[in-house]
Amino acid sequence: MKEEFIYWEGTAINAYVLGFQEIDHTTLMAVGGKGLNLGELSRIEGILVSLWILHGP
């Protein structure tokens, strides 16, 4: 997990970022159910998890 700043409507917000490969059942409270499912999917060979899922086109 790394700490970084993101900007929302011109305001810097402190955020913690996990890569999909870092997400497992122990991080459920931090990432929520959808995040956990994406993390688990990222481990399946042949499945590509895209950021488009999170942000849209």
Q: Is residue 25 a part of any domain in this protein? A: yes
Look at the chain and report how many structural domains it folds into: 1
Read off the pLDDT of residues 1-57 as tens digits, 9 standing for 90 and up.
777 777 878 888 887 788 888 899 999 998 999 889 989 988 899 888 776 655 555
pLDDT on residue 56:
54
Contacts of 13 (CB under 8 A, 6+ apart): 5, 6, 7
Q: What is the DSSP letter of 10?
A: T
Q: Which two tokens stand for residue 17?
A: 């970022």
5 in a domain, yes or no?
no
Q: How high is the pLDDT of residue 4?
A: 78
pLDDT number for residue 50: 72
pTM of the complete model: 0.62
Q: What is the pLDDT of residue 18?
A: 85
Residue 28 is predicted with a pLDDT of 92
Of the candidates 4, 1, 7, 34, the one whose C-alpha atom is nearest the C-alpha of residue 19 is 1
In a domain, 3, yes or no: no
